[in-house]
Amino acid sequence: MTAATTTPRILELAREQVLERGTGLAEPQLLEVLRLPDEHLSGLLSLAHEVRMRWCGPEVEVEGIVSLKTGGCPEDCHFCSQSGRFPTPVRSAWLDIPGLVKAAEETAATGATEFCIVAAVRGPDARLLAQVREGIRAIRESGNDIQIACSLGMLTQEQVDELVDMGVHRYNHNLETARSHFPEVVTTHTWEERWETLRMVRDAGMEVCSGGILGMGESDEQRAEFAAQLAELEPDEVPMNFLIPQPGTPYEDYPVIEGRDALRLVAAFRLAMPRTMLRFAGGRELTLGDLGAEQGMLGGINAIIVGNYLTNLGRPAQQDLDMLTELKMPIKALSETL
């Protein structure tokens, strides 16, 4: 056999360790995966899909998101057009309660089981929490029983308890990148502050959703580090975003991550976290295109955000739903953890 057709040792190890035993790869092993040459990408994606099917099953969770408070954020996350520190086109705005209810209805109509309320803030103040509570009450009074998640920045213990009381079942707070790379991405708060919010969320009984953005100048070593740190967190869900260079931000001229590298990352994250919900999120359309999205769904992904993102357009929700039908991937009716 030629070198191109010989199965690399790391894939043989992953088959035995991850597929057969359900134990995720460690950081050094993940780095080996990320450095596999292109001729082994197909085999890597196939293995990651097998892992997903064995430890997660065929169902796909569909989610919609809406921004309750857009722009004007005081933090300096270098990738974000909603930061008030950068000269971006995004301006501060609030969504009213009828608009929130309508967005939840439109999300539920796609077959989604999850609706995430997002706000561009360092952390929620009393006004924001009051509006979230009013919005959730209005959604429920409209007869919509979709599961509600929130992403409102860093929290205090009192705020965590308040969200639990509102019935929020999942909280999103992305670690964004590897701990070693974080100071290059954000300077107004620390990686450890984000980790502490996630710890309180988990201890309070809410599901933990935490991922990040890939393509922000991190090295392969830091990508492996990031996947391993997320695995240590044991999140219920990991959103995988790929950088969309935003005008006016420090990253506006960053190159878009190559599709093959994005797929390699999807597979590596699946091999790091065999039982975790791995969700396609922002940037997949730009990075992968239509064909790449299908390859990702067959390479370890088992959840997807449909429709538009916070300040970026996605592709039509029906297009993603049609893709799932063609791939014979049933949409999850209810989260198995409920």
Q: What is the pLDDT of residues 215-235, one digit of tens each?
A: 999 999 999 999 999 999 999
The whole-number pLDDT of residue 292 equals 60
Please tell me the distance from the alpha carbon of residue 296 to that of residue 267, in angstroms, as a whole number.
8
The whole-number pLDDT of residue 91 equals 63
The whole-number pLDDT of residue 3 equals 46
The whole-number pLDDT of residue 122 equals 95
Angle at the Cα of 192 (from 189 to 196), degrees rounded to 5?
110
Contact 44, 18 (CB under 8 A): no
CA distances for 319 relative to 103, 290, 324, angstroms = 18, 9, 9
The segments of the chain whose pLDDT lies below 50 read 1-4, 308-313, 333-338
The whole-number pLDDT of residue 294 equals 79
Both tokens assigned to 199 = 């710890």
Instruction: Provide the strand spans (E) within the chain.
Output: 61-70, 93-94, 114-119, 147-151, 170-172, 207-209, 212-214, 237-242, 277-280, 303-305
CA distances for 97 relative to 78, 134, 246, 270, 309, angstroms = 30, 7, 28, 37, 19
From the CB of residue 200, how many other CB atoms can be counted at a distance below 10 Å? 17
Please tell me the distance from the alpha carbon of residue 62 to that of residue 245, in angstroms, as a whole number.
25
pTM of model > 0.85: yes
With the CA atoms of 159, 160, 163 and 169 taken in that order, what torsion angle do they form, in degrees rounded to the nearest 10? 160
CA distances for 20 relative to 12, 71, 270, angstroms = 11, 46, 14
The whole-number pLDDT of residue 320 equals 66
Residue 239 β-bridge partners:
279
The whole-number pLDDT of residue 332 equals 64
Classified as helix, coil or strand, 168 is coil
Both tokens assigned to 145 = 């029983």
Please tell me the distance from the alpha carbon of residue 30 to that of residue 255, in angstroms, as a whole number.
23
Contact 258, 266 (CB under 8 A): no
Name the helix (H) or strand (E) containing 240. Answer: strand 237-242
The whole-number pLDDT of residue 279 equals 92
Please tell me the distance from the alpha carbon of residue 238 to that of residue 305, in angstroms, as a whole number.
12
Instruction: Provide the strand spans (E) within 269-333.
Output: 277-280, 303-305
Contact 204, 160 (CB under 8 A): yes
The whole-number pLDDT of residue 336 equals 34
Helix axes 191-203, 157-166, angle to 10 degrees: 40
The whole-number pLDDT of residue 223 equals 98
